[in-house]
Amino acid sequence: MLLSGPMKSGLQVSRLLAQPRPALLALADGSVFHGFAAGAPAAVAGEVVFNTAMTGYQEMVTDPSYHGQILCLTTSHVGQVGVNEIDAESDRPWARALVVQDLDLEPSSWRSEESFERWLESRGVTVGWGFDVRAIVRRIREAGAVPGVLSATDDVDAEQAVAMARQAQGTDGCDLACEVACEKTYTWSEGPWRSPSHPMSLPEVPQDVVVVDLGVKRSILRRLVAEGFNVTVVPPTTTVDQVLAHDPAGVLFSNGPGDPAAVVGARALAESLLGRLPLLGICLGHQILGLALGARTVKLPFGHHGGNHPVRELATGKVLITAQNHNYAVEEASLPREVVITHVNLTDGTVEGLALPRLGLEAVQFHPEAAPGPNDALGLMTGFAERCRSFVR
């Protein structure tokens, strides 16, 4: 068996060669890919998607937006910097399973608190390694984001796994946001990680903001703190009166998993808030605000997942390299005439941003908080803070 990647230590080699468990990934179209298993010995079903980012595996696995999905990473080595508590986007892994080419067993980073492999195993995540991820990606690009099964157990063979994949449900019609969102309101005060020698400076007069949790990443909350907000996070079932009772300067609809058209409660809340105070939507929140304006959403063939997606800001012509993670998009032709399209994806032309200045609304499909990913779009969070300060009720 070949060990890809950099030179392995004696511990790594012994663990990898000590009777590696076989694993297979079966797709609903009948495709089967073979590799080895780590983590929980189980057969796990989910919608198979791929992410092209080269860093940020811990952030991706703990991102609630991956709930219901088997995540395939295209980068060559995963686990090389271990894991730590600070980089987690939530308090648990949300990806149903993980598929990689190479899984490094011994981290090399001063910030590491535990190896990624042991962290995944202790949390019951099923992992496939040694897979030809390039072949998997090529198949998904042809077949679309289809249901699949990662089998890391002798109890499920290839034929059974294909049959399970064909019976598995994708994300269409599923309100997965309700499964990952908080059940009770809470406050957040932690800012982005900074070196002790470079402390974070905050505005002297903070503002209050309400975040509607559809599967919010902690990096979004940290970025809001950095922009001078007092952050209150509420469940998607919160009523408009309950939101306004916090007297916020603005409301943010967060990222999250699943089909936006199925998240009925959040859409109704957004409709009730239109024009009453500044609104910002990110990822699923962008789609929810689009629906609240009367638009439709559509599922993309295999979605946008990665940290290198080029987006043009139409007002300036500037190109932003963005981090993205979504399978659905707002249909441009369905938008009301007065809605302004602010950003466009340069790869497939899909809507990446929209605004309705009259109602104080702005939304972007990408992740401006940049975790993981480039920070080209951080200014959008600053712009939201400025809109909240200048909005006239």
Cα distances from 232 to residues 45, 106, 108, 221, 351, in angstroms, run 34, 38, 36, 9, 29
For residue 171, the tally of other CB atoms under 10 A from its CB is: 23
Q: For the purposes of burial, counting CB atoms within 10 Å of the CB of 143, is it exposed (0-12), middle (13-18) or buried (19 or more)?
A: middle
- DSSP label at 67? B
Distance (Å, rounded) from C-alpha 15 to C-alpha 270? 52
How many CA atoms within 13 Å lie on the side-chain side of 180? 32
One of 47, 59, 313, 369 is an active-site residue; which one?
369
Query: Does residue 305 have an active-site annotation?
Result: no
Q: How many residues does the chain have?
A: 393
**E strand segments, the chain:** 21-27, 32-39, 43-51, 69-73, 97-99, 126-129, 147-151, 186-188, 207-212, 229-234, 250-253, 279-282, 297-313, 318-330, 340-345, 351-356, 361-364
- Name the amino acid, one letter, at 239: T
Distance (Å, rounded) from C-alpha 201 to C-alpha 177? 33
State the helix-helix crossing angle for 218-226 and 379-390, rounded to 10 degrees: 60
- Angle (nearest 5°) at CA 93 between 269 and 378: 60
Q: Which of 44, 24, 23 is nearest to 32 (CA)?
A: 24
Q: What is the largest CA-CA distance in the chain?
A: 67
Distance (Å, rounded) from C-alpha 289 to C-alpha 256? 13
One of 47, 283, 304, 388 is an active-site residue; which one?
283
Query: Does residue 369 have an active-site annotation?
Result: yes
Residue 15 main-chain phi, psi, to 5 deg: -70, -40
Distance (Å, rounded) from C-alpha 49 to C-alpha 72? 6
DSSP reduced 3-state for 289: helix
- Active-site residue set: 283, 367, 369
